[in-house]
Structure 1
Amino acid sequence: MMRYHLAACVLALSTLTFPVHAAQREPLKMRWEVLRNELTQPRSRTKARISITALKGKALPAQGWSLYFNTAYGIVTGPLDGQLTMEKVSGGLYRVRPAAGFKGLNAGRTLHVDYYFSGLLIKMERAPAGPYLVYDAEPDVAHVIGDYQMLLPTRSAQLQRPAGEHELVTPQQTYRNNAGADVLPAAALPLVFPTPLALKPGAGRVHLARAPQVISGPGLKYETALARALFARYLPQGDASRTPVPLRLRIGVVDGQRSPEAYELSISADDGISITGNSAAGVARGLQSLHDLLPLPTPGAAQFDLPELSVTDAPRFAYRGFQLDVARNFQPKEVVMKTLDLMATYKLNKLHFHLTDDEGWRLEIGGLPELTSIGAVRGHSALEGVRLPPAYGSGPRIDDPHGSGYYTRADYIEILRYAAARHIEVIPEVEMPGHARAAVKSMEARYRRMTAAGDKDAAQFLLTDFDDRSVYRSPQQYNDHVINAGLESSYAFIDHVVGQIAAMHREAGVPLTTMHVGGDELPLGAWERSPASQALMRREQLASIADLWDYFHDRVDGILRKHGMTASGWEELGARRTAKEDAPLSVNPRFAQRGFSLYVWNNTPGNEDFAYRAANAGYDIVLAPVTNMYLDMATNANPEEPGVNWGGYVELETVYNFQPMSAQLTEAGRKRIRGVEATLFSETVRTTSQLDYLMMPRLLAVAERAWAPDPDWAQAGDALQAAALRRAAWSGFVNVLGQRVLPRLDLERGDVAYRIAPPGMVVEGGKVLVNHVLPGLTLRYTTDGSAPTARSKPVTGPIAAKGTISAAAFDRTGRAGMVARIINR
């Protein structure tokens, strides 16, 4: 099972220039479609078509041109019908070129380029992205094809699937799934989200006619400001003649709770509002619960009531994380801060910051300018080593805000301080030894520059053994992306980078206690034919590549310890390498007592229990299972749903249903489960709205599962009792999201383009019934098959109209979700 990582990002590149002539608009129109899925033996395949139309009187010549584009993986290269050929350039960059005998394309005519994918194409992430044309006569001039359309599959030949696999989700199926929850009245909604440890309701209410008077103890500067800003928004005017209710914030001892994020919240008509936390973080979490108790924002509101209650709360897991990938495509600093705001609102506390990968290095490192001048820039070039090639649709221009960009030292320090104020730890990730092409190519460029200048230290940070003849290919289709373990300069590079990042954290006043060093997907074959690696193996008496792998991570661990850190990484960091691809993982005992934290994504067949075996062996574990917590996975197999599917499909309910603990865990192993993390490798993300869509509202289910106590339904021994308890809990969850959590997000921010699922629809008794996974969102419909708008009729009950009934849900800003249609005859 392949783990296919990608990403998305943005930043203005004021220091970069791109000649105007180097990215011209080409008078071509391009369309892409699936022709058919072929269920053949021994392996199914998909036939696809690129259609190119020459416009504006400009013909496409018989020879001397190449059509470039990105695609994820799986294209079959070689000769094509029509005297054309498909070639792989690098990674996911491909090109179509004319072969001998191609006659050219006259203006106004269309050329069909038919080609195959190995395996079935189910999700549209493998459609060509970022297409451009280059003529051999001007190899550095890229002609952007701006008129490009991807056609979604609709015909049966395009949608063929093996029986029982990748089935499309119909409106009827959605209706039945949605019926698994009850619609609750507002008075029955859970009062606090995520579910607190203990909540005791009182009998009365506390009336607020003006903002409370915030009385805070020492060490709560941010929390005091947060409380004042909160009530300034909800009670902007207030009645100055009324005595303000006191809001007391203090750091104290929460009885019976050891977590620094534990808090007590009390709302009393006699004593006002008080929040006590074991630390400032606890006070901040208590303020978010108080925030959740406020009524939804109403323009001009002058007063409201709060319920009397007392809450004692603490998180189930100390680690509640979200991994944001900005390496493969870039997100600007402002998007990172927006993400941190969302995390703080829902009590998540770890930002796993995926800063480097094959397709981008996104952090300025002092003394190594090539890491950003080369490694942070993607675009077309006829020469090797000038910049990284286009990837994931970034196209030929180096000023593409998603393909190119990086955080300056000042940017990163600002992000660290912003996160720290919200009690979120930033864990930077520097991928090694694989997933490192951006670093490898940057250091090769540095070597060439310094060698040309006669600098004797040119090889100081070189990551490449130029005599390496190893044969390998990564899941992302690279064969030149691995840091060489046999070079002392590789460890000098790692030491320098780690030291620079540690220095940024010190300057920010934010401790750096661990760094994520990747460690995943080192392809078989890497290092095997490297003279440098072979020489090191002889010196160190290493018997195998598996021993060299251990040597590499032993050195990396030593570097991190020198800088006061422990090592974090993907599960491969604590697994013994094997000589067989996709073999079940076995726990490596060598590092079990080193304090390594393993982020375990691989719960694919054969590895379902690796996280628990590793915990029992002594490794600290963060659970990030692909089948439940990978938010880059599409919600379902329907073509219009964005995302990938190599690890399955992840519905909102899929995340909610995740049960982190296993009966396989020993008592010591249970203590090694640090928490859970949602991961978003943004392979299909090129805009902030796409990031929002994949992240939300599934991140809310992550927050519930990470903070809330183990639910009753997960512990019930009786199946019927468990089903009843689970239905009640799920009903509370979806209703509080649809009626309060997401509406508050709309009304307070209005800039989070979360997924609004299509409604469910069935025909019963000659009428159309409509429901939604999130009760509380407004449903609207039309009777002529057109997409509903904010002015369409609301769904208030069964729809008796005949014809094609279209329905969609709308948020509080009037934004529509996906449309569902059904015919009522």
Structure 2
Amino acid sequence: MRYIYILIFLGFVSFPGKAAINSQSELADFAKGAELWFAVESNLLAEPSTFSGSISLINNSAQALPAGNADWQIYLHMVRRINSTEQAGLTLQHIQGDLHRISPTKNFKGLAVGETLQLNFQSAPWIISYSDFMPRAFIVAAGLTPEIFANTDTEEFSHFVRPMTEPRQLLRNIGNGDKFATMTDQQRYRQNQTADNALLSNAELQRRIVPSPAKLQMFDGNIALSSKWQLHLSAELQHEGRYLQQQLQQYFGSDITFAQTPGKQQIKLKLAAPHPSLAAESYQLKIRGNVVEITGTDKAGVFYGIQSLLALLPVRDQATTPVRLPQLFISDQPRYRWRGMHYDMGRNFHGIEVTLRLIEQMARYKLNRLHLHLTEDEGWRLEIPGLPELTELGAYRCFDLTEQHCLLTQLGTGPHPSGSGNGYYSREQFIQLLRHAQAHHIQVIPEIDLPGHARAAIKAMESRYQRLNQAEQPEQAAQYRLTEDHDLSDYLTVQNYNDNSVNVCLESSYQFVDKVISELQQMYLDAGTELTLFHMGGDEVAKGSWQGSPACQQLIAKPDNGINSVDDLKPYFINRVAQLTAKRGLALAAWEDGLMATAAQPFARKQFQNPQVVVNAWDNIWEWGYGDRAYLFANAGYNVVQSPGTNLYFDHPQEAHPAERGYYWAARSTDTEKVFFYRPDHLYHNAEFTRDGTEITDLAALLGRELPQLEKPENMLGIQGQVWSETIRTAAQLEQMVYPRLIALAERAWHKAGWEPDKTSMAARADWQHFSQRLVSHELPRLQLTNSGHYLPPPGAIRDNGKLMANVAWPGLIIEYSVDQGQSWQHFQQPLTASAKQIWLRSKLGGVTSRIIKL
């Protein structure tokens, strides 16, 4: 039972203010002076999976809100859907997605200066993170430009979300009681208390490169690499040679030269003679005497050998000439052929520069697949020639209820097209991106999410339809239309949309898909590469889609077409796209739920007429009993990329704390250590806790069934990290969520550790200690030198007998403290005499600091 009620608290009114909003300046003054606040009241309601919250409007402005049915409304972003209601003269109405509206009726008594209005509501599921609340609530009035409430026009949640400090706010009514208690500073301190006798020396740290090589043999002594050295390589490796030259130039201040003939003091790049025993992308690196030699089975192998050589160099701002390198021999090859990273810029677009940096960092750590989630309900992010509405309308969100100029504002963008998350890649930028990826031996996988999650495309093509109809070109107008008149289908998606499913019964829908694919292929060709795999999404198609479609009723009524009900329409659509891609020589990819016939069984592989179908298996066996789908799909003949939400979703919080950004539906938190300890060859070992935090000791007993085993390991392509961007509005936020979890992902994708699957062994704990030490000494400083941001875990701390003790999660981080609320910071040396009433602490590395903790 959802309910909402409204309480109005009236205080002493010292200045009544004007009775109406008549001008832009008055509206602006009200939005600047008034404050809108969100709060969680309780997550421990009697009804499971629900919470109570409140929305408060504090009128600190000099402008009153008039009584009665005045022409003003307040719009706010709220990812939890609140059912429409009318109370105390106000209506609260859900519009679409996360957009809600508060409107006055004739019974509204007004809001004078100094008054506070509070709306209390109940919704589902819980909210235990500040980032669930979206910024940029705004007020509109007839004929005036919308104005954002100033206190919400920020990414600092403390300016518009009330603190969550009580157990009723921090714990959930879930399962047998929420055992994932919010991390405290004291718990973090105890968690960080690990012996440091496993720490590596500087020499050992230098050769502990990431990802770890398969074999490393050390020799005595080292060599001195300087600008006097030369590069010697064959003609087919000119690109890799130029790349290495550019990287070394950053150390030596000038280019090392190319040698025409082999000799001493040379870095030699060469390809190995072809042999069936040599794995693709493998390499050997030999540093001995006056020669550095990199031999790859292919160009990618040579490139990865270069990355290992660069990883042996000191961090650039520590470098001197010459650079000392240990004498060693590395023989290395990848664990998996698919080592991927998925990036969603459909929800929020962050610009091309951060994508180019992502490609560079992926290459540094030998990741080779970039899965770009280019389209969503909230945005279409790629220019398609001939379909200008896709980006002119579909790439921007603003306040336009008619959606003739932009999509409805969502996810904290606010009312203006200049708001956060808007934008797209131009065709030229995307070609630039493809060339950059190719130069770094990364394959870009484009995803156009269909048939669900397609609201941006649907609205854009409706705009095109209307434009061409008005120009009296009805046939051209209907060519790429994705919906139809008189469709009475009634559904609601997980993200609270009721109009985001492409109509799979219209031939124009398939013309649209083919048009987009053909333009993608041409962009790849213009970039000097080839599109080989098209990702169609296929996920989260809402039940009820197409039930009220006249075109679908006609299709179902046709005899002998294999379509007997609405349930047959999704596989029909998938197979049509499979055929389209096969005709164009492309493999097809989709998310797992798009390819499931039932909750326990995938569609038969032969049902889809395409030689290769790749599936991203993302679900969790320890929540809904579906996490064995990676094995089910592989056994059924699909190619599988493990993409589990519990371990490899980088949009989840990095700690169980409300101040940590991200959704938490799959796991309460996913830190870098959890990514590091993902064991892809032992899927069920990763099932450690249920959603409520209960430890799993017998997974089969928990699920009440026998667990399938992997029968066709050859179909397991690899693993992939995912970052979804609902709560990620800026490039800085994106990099905070991605790094350094991406580096741990790369370690597991490239290297199979000897301790797997037992992560509790001494060898496993030492490996993590060494990895985290290397993060601090080399990898994170290198990220900073490329202007990439990253996350740092806050310190743990405890007060004991008047003294303050603090520690860090990763060896080598420093701790700073402040006794003047952040006005000044000092280096922490423990124990610190804790005489100040409140002390602020933070971890620091270079120019990056962690979230502040306050004791």
Q: Which residue of 1 is the match for residue 507 of structure 2?
A: 488
Equivalent in 302, 320, 326 of residue 307 of structure 1: 326
SS at the partner of 1:404? coil
Query: Shift in Å at residue 88 of structure 1?
Result: 0.7
Out of 518-527 and 298-307, give the one that drifted further: 298-307
SS at the partner of 1:473? coil
TM-score by length of structure 2 reads 0.86
Q: Which residue of 2 is the match for residue 12 of structure 1?
A: none
Q: Distance in 1 between matches of 2:124 and 2:447?
A: 32
Q: Which residue of 2 is the match for residue 6 of structure 1?
A: none
Q: Distance in 1 between matches of 2:140 and 2:742?
A: 42
| Letter aligned with residue 549 of structure 1 | K
2:836 equivalent to 1:817: no
Q: Is the 8 A contact 1:37 1:44 kept in 2?
A: no
Equivalent in 84, 99, 105 of residue 105 of structure 2: 99
2:789 equivalent to 1:771: no
| Letter aligned with residue 259 of structure 1 | A
Q: Distance in 2 between matches of 1:767 and 1:247?
A: 55
CA deviation map 1:625-660 (0-9, x unaligned):
000111111123311111111111211122112111
2:469 equivalent to 1:451: yes
**Pair 1:46–1:445, CA change in 2 (3 A):** same
| Letter aligned with residue 161 of structure 2 | L
Q: Distance in 1 between matches of 2:835 and 2:103?
A: 52
2:242 equivalent to 1:225: yes
Equivalent in 250, 253, 260 of residue 236 of structure 1: 253
Q: Distance in 2 between matches of 1:77 and 1:204?
A: 74
Equivalent in 243, 250, 260 of residue 270 of structure 2: 250
Q: Distance in 1 between matches of 2:136 and 2:433?
A: 30
Query: Shift in Å at residue 470 of structure 1?
Result: 1.5
5+ residue gaps in structure 1? 1-19
Query: Shift in Å at residue 753 of structure 1?
Result: 2.1
Q: Is the 8 A contact 1:785 1:821 kept in 2?
A: no
CA deviation map 1:128-166 (0-9, x unaligned):
42211111x32x732222232223424425334444344
**Pair 1:510–1:239, CA change in 2 (3 A):** closer
Q: Is the 8 A contact 1:218 1:250 kept in 2?
A: no
**Pair 1:332–1:295, CA change in 2 (3 A):** same
CA deviation map 1:84-139 (0-9, x unaligned):
2210111111111113321222234433333333332111233242211111x32x
Q: Distance in 1 between matches of 2:190 and 2:278?
A: 43
| Letter aligned with residue 432 of structure 2 | E
Q: Which residue of 2 is the match for residue 405 of structure 1?
A: 423
Give % identity.
34
Write out aligned runs for 1:651-800 (5 A): 651-662=671-682, 669-709=712-752, 711-715=753-757, 723-746=761-784, 748-749=785-786, 751-763=787-799, 767-782=803-818, 784=819, 786-787=821-822, 791-795=825-829, 797-800=830-833
Write out aligned runs for 1:167-316 (5 A): 167-180=181-194, 182=196, 184=199, 185-189=201-205, 191-210=208-227, 212-236=229-253, 245-253=265-273, 258-269=278-289, 271-298=290-317, 301-316=320-335
| Letter aligned with residue 712 of structure 1 | G
Equivalent in 145, 148, 161 of residue 151 of structure 1: 161
**Pair 1:97–1:745, CA change in 2 (3 A):** same
SS at the partner of 1:129? coil
Q: Distance in 2 between matches of 1:78 and 1:125?
A: 25
**Pair 1:79–1:165, CA change in 2 (3 A):** farther
TM-score by length of structure 1 reads 0.89
Q: Distance in 1 between matches of 2:757 and 2:32?
A: 63
| Letter aligned with residue 176 of structure 1 | R
Query: Shift in Å at residue 397 of structure 1?
Result: 0.9
Query: Shift in Å at residue 239 of structure 1?
Result: 12
**Pair 1:602–1:697, CA change in 2 (3 A):** same
2:354 equivalent to 1:335: yes
Q: Distance in 2 between matches of 1:348 and 1:689?
A: 21
Q: Is the 8 A contact 1:378 1:388 kept in 2?
A: yes
Q: Is the 8 A contact 1:571 1:599 kept in 2?
A: yes
Query: Shift in Å at residue 56 of structure 1?
Result: 4.9
Q: Which residue of 1 is the match for residue 448 of structure 2?
A: 430
| Letter aligned with residue 646 of structure 1 | W
SS at the partner of 2:553? helix
CA deviation map 1:543-569 (0-9, x unaligned):
233322111111101111121101011
Q: Distance in 1 between matches of 2:346 and 2:323?
A: 46
Q: Which residue of 2 is the match for residue 635 of structure 1?
A: 654
Out of 755-764 and 517-526, give the one that drifted further: 755-764
| Letter aligned with residue 285 of structure 2 | L
Query: Shift in Å at residue 288 of structure 1?
Result: 1.0
Q: Distance in 1 between matches of 2:854 and 2:139?
A: 39
SS at the partner of 1:597? strand
2:372 equivalent to 1:353: yes
**Pair 1:260–1:211, CA change in 2 (3 A):** farther
**Pair 1:418–1:181, CA change in 2 (3 A):** farther
Q: Distance in 2 between matches of 1:34 and 1:147?
A: 14
Query: Shift in Å at residue 729 of structure 1?
Result: 1.3
SS at the partner of 1:105? coil
Q: Which residue of 1 is the match for residue 54 of structure 2?
A: 49
- Higher-RCO chain (CA-CA 8 Å, sequence separation at least 6): 1
Q: Distance in 1 between matches of 2:179 and 2:804?
A: 29
Write out aligned runs for 1:476-625 (5 A): 476-539=495-558, 540-576=561-597, 578=598, 583-584=599-600, 586-591=602-607, 594-603=611-620, 604-625=623-644
| Letter aligned with residue 553 of structure 1 | I
Q: Which residue of 2 is the match for residue 115 of structure 1?
A: 121
Out of 726-735 and 222-231, give the one that drifted further: 222-231
**Pair 1:255–1:810, CA change in 2 (3 A):** farther
Q: Distance in 2 between matches of 1:22 and 1:552?
A: 52
SS at the partner of 1:547? helix
Query: Shift in Å at residue 238 of structure 1?
Result: 11
Q: Distance in 2 between matches of 1:23 and 1:219?
A: 65
Q: Distance in 2 between matches of 1:528 and 1:22?
A: 48
Q: Distance in 2 between matches of 1:800 and 1:21?
A: 53
Q: Which residue of 2 is the match for residue 36 of structure 1?
A: 41
2:63 equivalent to 1:58: yes
| Letter aligned with residue 158 of structure 1 | Q
SS at the partner of 1:714? coil
Q: Distance in 1 between matches of 2:331 and 2:382?
A: 41
5+ residue gaps in structure 2? 1-23, 153-158, 258-262, 684-706
**Pair 1:821–1:399, CA change in 2 (3 A):** closer
| Letter aligned with residue 48 of structure 1 | G
Q: Is the 8 A contact 2:461 2:481 kept in 1?
A: yes
Q: Distance in 2 between matches of 1:405 and 1:235?
A: 39
**Pair 1:300–1:559, CA change in 2 (3 A):** closer
SS at the partner of 2:235? coil
Q: Distance in 1 between matches of 2:26 and 2:459?
A: 23
Query: Shift in Å at residue 715 of structure 1?
Result: 4.6
Q: Distance in 2 between matches of 1:638 and 1:773?
A: 16
Q: Distance in 2 between matches of 1:460 and 1:712?
A: 57
**Pair 1:253–1:777, CA change in 2 (3 A):** farther
Q: Distance in 2 between matches of 1:363 and 1:338?
A: 19
Q: Is the 8 A contact 1:34 1:46 kept in 2?
A: no
